[in-house]
Amino acid sequence: MKNWGRLIKYHRQQQGLKQDDVAVGICTPSYLSRIENGMVIAETAVYELLLERLGIDFKHQKEQLTAKNTFLEQLYEKLLSNIELTADEIEQLRDCQSSLFHHETDIMAKLVYSRYLLSRNKLQEAQQLLIQIEPFITWQHDRITQLYIGITTYAHLSALEFYDIIAKEEQQQISNYMTTANRFEQANYFYHLAFAHHRYYSFQQALFYIQLATKTFSHQYKPLFQLKLYSMTGVIYNSLSRFNEALIEYSAGEDLLGNVESIQTSMQFSSLYNNIAFCYECQSDFAKAQDYYEQAVFHMEDLHTVINWMRACYRNGSLEKLRTLLKKYPREIFTIGHHQYQWELLHYASGQQLELTSLKDIETRAFSYFEEHSHYELILYYAPLWGTFYEELYAYKQANNCYKRAFKASEKVRRLMSS
C-alpha cells in the first residue's frame, strides 16, 4: 500500500498542487507528506479520497495494476523457465517501461525487462538498468527484493562474476529474503550459488547448494530445470572425483532427455554428452571420452566441446584424427582465449619438431593467460606435458619451471577447495 503514496505524490506534482490543496478535508498536510514518502500506511478509504481528489479512479487504477503485475509475473516465470517470449509479449513489456518509479509496478517492469535483456545476451544494457533500480530496493521480504536478488544473481553469472555471488550470500545472507518466494525461484537461486561455488573451486559448498536446490525443487514438473540439476550435480561429483555418482546423475539426465520431447534440443544433447565425455577423460578413459565428445559435436558444433574433443584425441593417441580436427577447425574461428591457446598447444604437440624457442614462446603466452584467468585445470594438464617436452630437449631448468607451475596450480585448487 505504501506505493500508493508515491503515486499520489507523482500526480499531485504533475498537477501543480500543494499538499494543503489535496489534504484539506481528508487528512493533515503533514500526514499526507508521510503517506507520500511511505512513512505510514493509511486506511484504504484515505487513499481512495486522495486519488479521487486528483481525478484518479482508485478501483480502476488498482485493477490495472493487478493485471499488469500478473502479466509481469507470467513473463518472469517464462524467462526463468527458458521459454521464449512472443513478439506481442515483448512489445507489451516494452510498453510497461516508465521513466519514473512512481509505483512498485514500474520497478517490477524494469526488473523483468532487465531479465529479458539478459536472456538476449545484452548484458551491459541489463546491468545499467539494474544500477538504476538499486536505490529503490528496500531489502525486505517483499516481491521486488526477491526479483532483484534473482535477476542480479543471474546477471553476475552471465558476467562470470562468480565471487560476487558467493560474497553477497556469505556477507548478507540474501537467501533469507527468498524464503517467501516460490520454490522454483528459491531452487534457481541455490542452483546459481552452486554454479558460482563450482567455478570458484569450492566444490563441497557447490555440492551443498545443488543438493539444497534439488530438495527445494522436488515435486515440481519443469523438465528443463530438472535436467540442469542432474547435469550440475554430475559436474560437481566429477570435480570431487566421485565419478560413479556423476555418471548416475548423467544417466538420469539421459533418461529424462530421451523421454521428454519438449527439451530435446541440440544444445541439451550436446551439453550432456560433453559432460559425460569430460567425466571419462578425468578417469583417463580417453577412448570413451573421445567418443562422447564426438557425439556432442554431432548434435551441435560448440567450439568448447570441439577443443575438448581435440584434447581427448591427443590424450588417446589418435593423432591422425586430431590433425583432421585441427584442419577442420582452424585457430581463427575460436574467439575465447583459453580455446585459442589450447588449439596452439595441441597443434604444436601433435605435429611439429620440438624446438626450444617455440616451446618457450607458447609456454609464456598460454600459461600466463591460464594463470591470469584461473584456468588451473588447464595448467594441471598442459604444464606437465610441456615439462616432458623440455626434458626431451634436455632443458631441465625449463622443465622444472613447468612442474612448478603445475604444483602452484594444484596448491591453489587445494586451498580453494578447503576454504
Q: What is the mean pLDDT of each run of 10 residues along the chain (419 residues)?
A: 74 88 90 86 86 83 85 95 94 85 82 96 95 89 94 96 95 94 96 96 95 94 96 97 97 97 96 97 96 97 96 96 96 96 95 88 94 93 96 95 94 83
Cβ neighbours of residue 352 closer than 8 Å, sequence gap 6 or more: 358
Q: Counting every residue, how long is the chain?
A: 419
Please report, to the nearest 10 degrees, the dihedral formed by the alpha carbons of residues 155, 217, 256, 280 taken in order.
Answer: 60
- Residue carrying the nine cell digits 555471488: 165
Q: How far is 47 from 121, CA to CA, in rounded Å?
A: 41
pLDDT at 9: 85
Q: Which of 108, 78, 89 lies closest to 184, judged by CA?
A: 78
pLDDT of residue 387: 96
3-class secondary structure for 183-198?
Answer: HHHHHHHHHHHHHHHH
pLDDT of res. 244:
97
Phi, psi of 188 (to 5 degrees): -60, -45
Buried-exposed string 382-394: b where 16+ CB fall within 10 A, e elsewhere: bbbebbebbeeee
pTM for the structure as a whole = 0.85
